[in-house]
Amino acid sequence: MPDQTLYPFIAKKISIQGHDISYLDQGQGKVIVMLHGNPTWSFYYRNLATLLQENYRVIAPDHMGCGFSDKPLDYPYTLKTHIDNLETLLALLEIDKFSLVVHDWGGAIGMGLAVRFPARVESVVVMNTAAFAAKRMPLRIRICRIPLLGDIIVRGFNGFARAALTMAVANPMAPAVARGYLEPYDSWAHRVAILRFVQDIPLTTKDASWQTLAEIENGLKMLQNKPMLILWGGRDFCFTRQFYNEWLQRFPGAESHLFHDAGHYVLEDAFAVIAPLLSSFFRKCIT
């Protein structure tokens, strides 16, 4: 496990379709579900979970194949499967109403569940993510989708997760933090989901998750009246300002903050500024 001073939690596990999902379940009260992306895990939310557990019940799962969840090699690592897993997890925990905090792939996964059950969603926090079709993909990510070459880069050299330690932040990570991000991905076998997430990015109608994402995008209008807070790292090479603008266009009533000197891992670069904004938002929306 990572440094206890950074990640002072004892994760729980629950079986879904024969494989264990690891998740944090901290605090009591109204439920806030935090969903990470690729190549992170619940470690990304460590500071936010510590902040919010005093007043809320925080649920932060590691998606299948990520963090300390099981990492089956022969598994349908698709957007729909991740959404189904989240739905099952919340059902097993008997959680009905909840707020969402989403980042990276967590946006599509969280919004995928939200459009299935919009009445269950109390509020949404969006950070450097998308839940609609992308119009572009950076070359450095496209390269990781090339057969064999992508396997070598992502699974062989851990190139996707290692590169994110510098590319996804504007400020250098402390060594212990960097080790925390990499710890669950310590072998070829344990990096399978990182590659499958990259391969599952839907770019054309031929891609397996294209229809799932299209249904999510079409359903976003059902969430327009939900309280929403958009927190955005302005130096994100992947989820650029265009994505931020599209969220604003789709949700003109959202409270929004653009952090010009923060990267994709916006919680790493700007947590001190973000923390009071989040506390205030949830105090107004779900207390």
pLDDT of residue 135: 74
* pLDDT tens sequence across 82-117: 999 999 999 999 999 999 999 999 999 999 999 999
pLDDT of residue 251: 98
3 within domain boundaries: no
Record the pTM: 0.97
* Tokens representing residue 261 in the block: 């000197």
2 within domain boundaries: no
5 within domain boundaries: no
For residue 83, give its domain range: 12-285
pLDDT of residue 220: 98
Confidence of residue 136 (pLDDT cuts 50, 70, 90): confident
32, 41, 33: which is closest to 6 by C-alpha?
41
The CATH number of whichever domain residue 33 belongs to comes to 3.40.50.1820
Confidence of residue 137 (pLDDT cuts 50, 70, 90): confident
69 within domain boundaries: yes
Give the per-residue SS3 of the chain. Answer: CCCCCCCCCCCEEEEECCEEEEEEEECCCCEEEEECCCCCCHHHHHHHHHHHCCCCEEEEECCCCCCCCCCCCCCCCCHHHHHHHHHHHHHHCCCCCEEEEEEEHHHHHHHHHHHHCHHHEEEEEEEEECCCCCCCCCHHHHHHHCCCHHHHHHHHCCHHHHHHHHHCCCCCCCHHHHHHHHCCCCCCHHHHHHHHHHHCCCCCCCCCCHHHHHHHHHHHHHHCCCCEEEEEECCCCCCCHHHHHHHHHHCCCCEEEEECCCCCCHHHHHHHHHHHHHHHHHHHHCC
Q: In this structure, how many other beta carbons lie within 10 angstroms of the beta carbon of residue 280?
A: 12
pLDDT of residue 129: 98
* Tokens representing residue 98 in the block: 């909840």
- Contact (Cβ atoms closer than 8 angstroms) between residue 135 and residue 113: no
The domain total for the chain is 1
* pLDDT tens sequence across 205-248: 999 999 999 999 999 999 999 999 999 999 999 999 999 999 99
35 within domain boundaries: yes
Mean pLDDT computed over every residue of the chain: 96
pLDDT of residue 3: 78
- Contact (Cβ atoms closer than 8 angstroms) between residue 79 and residue 209: yes
pLDDT of residue 67: 98
In the predicted structure, residue 156 carries a pLDDT above the cut 80: yes
6 within domain boundaries: no
* Distance, CA of 122 to CA of 117 (rounded, Å): 11
262 within domain boundaries: yes
In the predicted structure, residue 140 carries a pLDDT above the cut 90: no
129 within domain boundaries: yes
CA distances (Å), origin 61, targets 34, 186, 277: 7, 19, 23
* pLDDT tens sequence across 181-213: 999 999 999 999 999 999 999 988 999 999 999
pLDDT of residue 26: 98
